[in-house]
Amino acid sequence: MRVVEIFKGNKREEMYLFVDQKEGMKSVPEDLLATFGNLESVMIFPLTDSKKMARVKASEVLESIERQGYFLQMPPAPEALAEAQISAMVKAEEELTNAQNEQPD
């Protein structure tokens, strides 16, 4: 288990920097920090291998922090974002259809 702090910047949407809370930014290269602009802490939480995360495996985050002192989460590719939106729309339409079919006449 490691207490992780997540930061975002003001230059690029959906790009996040994960660091060990105690270590902070000391291992993050200056040129990488510059790509974020003004950093803002978004969240602090305990991270374990079994933690369910949205875009990446917790074990990858922990390994990266252990190896290099940080983990960089890049924004999803536009194609992946479009696919996720289409998938969500299809699911919502199916749920609506199912709900309509279950209503008594």
**Are residues 70 and 25 part of one domain?**
yes
pLDDT in tens, 79-102: 665 677 788 888 888 888 888 888
Which is nearest to 39 in space by CA: 69, 12, 66, 64? 12
Burial class (CB in 10 A: 0-12, 13-18, 19+), 101: exposed
pLDDT in tens, 2-52: 999 999 999 998 999 999 999 999 999 999 999 999 999 999 999 999 999
**Are residues 65 and 89 part of one domain?**
no
**Are residues 6 and 23 part of one domain?**
yes
How many structural domains compose the chain? 2
**Are residues 91 and 53 part of one domain?**
no
- This prediction's pTM: 0.73
Range of 103's domain? 76-105
**Are residues 50 and 14 part of one domain?**
yes
**Are residues 36 and 86 part of one domain?**
no
